[in-house]
Each structure stands twice: as C-alpha cells, then as structure tokens.
Amino acid sequence: MTAYVAGFGMAFPGGRVSQADMWDGFFSQHFAGDRMAERIFRGAGVVHRHAAVNPVEEDVSRWSTGERMRRYVAEALPLGKEAVAAALTDAGLAPDEVGLLAVVSCTGYVTPGLDIRVAADLGMAPDVQRLFVGHMGCYAAIPGLGAAADYVVARGRPAVVLCLELTSLHVQPAADDDGHVDRGQVVSHALFGDAAVAVVVLPDAPQRHAGLEVVEIAALTDAATADHMTWDVTDLGFRMGLSPEVPRVLARHVHPMITDLLARHGMTIADVDAWAVHPGGPRILSTVAERLALPDDALDASLGVLAERGNCSSATVLLVLDALRATGRPRTGRAAVAMAFGPGLTLYVTLLREA
C-alpha cells in the first residue's frame, strides 16, 4: 500500500495587504531610526500577504502571550475548518471517512486544541485519531505529512494534515529595553504572512483524479548551528532569532542531501520535474538554485508564493505544491521534490511522484 496526497484546501484571513502599505502604515514608524529597515522590507520579495491581525489597523506588539493565544483561537478555528473542508471536497471524501487529523502549527496553542474543535465541527467520527505537531517551525509540514502517510499505509484509512500559522500575532516591540533593534526581527516582520492549508492523504492511488505518491521523507539536522534560527516563547508572544548565516549553512548541506535522496531511487537532479522549495526568503531560494544548478524557472512557484503570500511558516511549502499543481507539474509519472528549512538548523525533504 502507498500513500497519496489527493486533495488540497486553503484559507486566508482578511484581505490582501500590500507590503508597501504595511511599511508606510506601521513598520516605518515601528522601526523609526533604523535606516536599514526599509531596505530589508523592500528586498524581502514580498508584494502582498494576509494577516489575521493587520498591524496597520491594530498594534499587538505589546500584547501579552495570553492575549495573543486568545486571539489565535478566535482566528484559527474558522480558517482551519474552511481549509480542511475544501481539501475533503477536492479529494471527494466525507468528513466521517477520515481516520487521522494531524494539525501543524507553531504560532498558537490551546487545549482542547484545533484538532478536537475542527474534527467535531466538521462532523468527523468520534473515533478519529488526532495528532498535533507544534513548534517545529517552517519545515513542519513535511514531518506532518510523513506521519499521515505512515498512518495511511499502516491502517489503510485516509488522513488529513492541516498546517495553520498566524504569524501576524507575534509582532514584537521595535527594540529591547536597551534600545537595540534586532535585525532578525526586521527580517521576520518583512517576510511572514498568515495561511491555513490542508491536504488529504489516501491509501492507494485515487480513482477520481491523479495524486502525489509519497515516496520518501528525509531529514537532516546540523545541531552545531542550533542557535542560527530560534523561536522563543516570551511574555510578549513568540520571538524569532535569525542569523544571516542560515543561507551559508543551507548551502553546505542541500546538495549532498538531495543527491543522496534521489540516488536511493535511481534518480538525479535532472530527473525531477517540479521543485517545491520553501521560500524562507530570496537568499534561501537563490542558494538552493545555485547549489543544485537548477534551471532559471525551476523556483518560479516558490517565488510567486513568496510574492503573493509571504513566508507562511509550515503552510508555505504546501502552497508551493498547490501552485505547481495548477501548472500541471509534476507531470504524470514524474517526480517532485518538496523541501523546507527551520530551527535545528533542520532540512526536511519529501520525494513525491505524480500518479
């Protein structure tokens, strides 16, 4: 038995907000005095994004973590239900047929969680199994997909993975108590957006339409660089630590990891028909393209998602896969590689094949 990704659904909070409006309406004042901030915003590769909490209208930078978590619950539940319902419809599946619901998020926590609330509100069976994948960061969709695929193969029942991230809840104060501006915060505020994306994973190839076979999941963690990317729970929400060395570490690992994965299946980089690379930022994408010697247009889907959605943490790589699907990639019988990066410093990759 093999697991196949056979349905996609997504939901976005509020209307699209332009990067220019975010800068002019809030962040230009928020980072007033930091002459590099505007350059960082304009070079982030983001044109529009969605925000459950639009900073132009509502400044949450001094909210307590408790206030942010209460807002997370209010915003996340309807988004999660919308995304999962759309994915089930896309796969031709009824809610009570789902055997496992896995929820992935690093931007909010509540118990009873979204897994219980979404399952109950959509009419999933009382015996549906649930899994929560928390605080892994931008790569977490792939281990979430791996857990769902393992369940599907072992049990022969469908699974759903929901990645839901509300990064807009975690706008930080412009400077610390000593007046120091952390440029990593400027970068994260320039990049991140909000999204909910769900995928359905089925046992065996779907009959109604093609699906993506989950061939293998692979991971690599460089523990010596663990301090290069962090996501700390503070009294004022969750705070990102981001080193400019991240692309350099990625450059060291991405080529051997990808070539080893492909070699295990008798393939080379030239055999890959579609690349779904997490757009952690323009430098991340250019590093991957350079190290893998990819064609000029190979990462167009990643660049397009970055421009129109921003970096939506765990949900982003699924947005890129859906964008590729809309262009007919990967083609029937051909392979796709999805990869994402995050704290650890960790690379997660999945090899997929279009049925």
138 is catalytic: yes
Distances (CA, A) of 159 to 12, 129, 146, 314: 22, 9, 11, 18
Phi, psi of 272 (to 5 degrees): -80, 125
Q: Measuring CA to CA, which residue among 67, 246, 78, 245 is closest to residue 171?
A: 67
Does residue 276 sit in helix, strand or coil? strand
Per DSSP, helices labelled H in 227-315 are: 246-263, 282-292, 300-309
- Burial environment of residue 329 by CB neighbours within 10 A (0 to 12, 13 to 18, 19 or more): middle
From 106, 138, 163, 312, active-site residue:
138
- DSSP class of residue 134? E
Distances 176 to 25, 36, 56, 173, 236 between C-alpha atoms, Å? 22, 17, 22, 7, 12
C-alpha 217/C-alpha 17 separation (Å) is 35
Q: Are 199 and 318 in contact (CB under 8 A)?
A: yes
- Retrieve residue 189's tokens: 């505020």
What would the two tokens of residue 180 be?
A: 């120091």
Residues carrying an active site annotation: 138
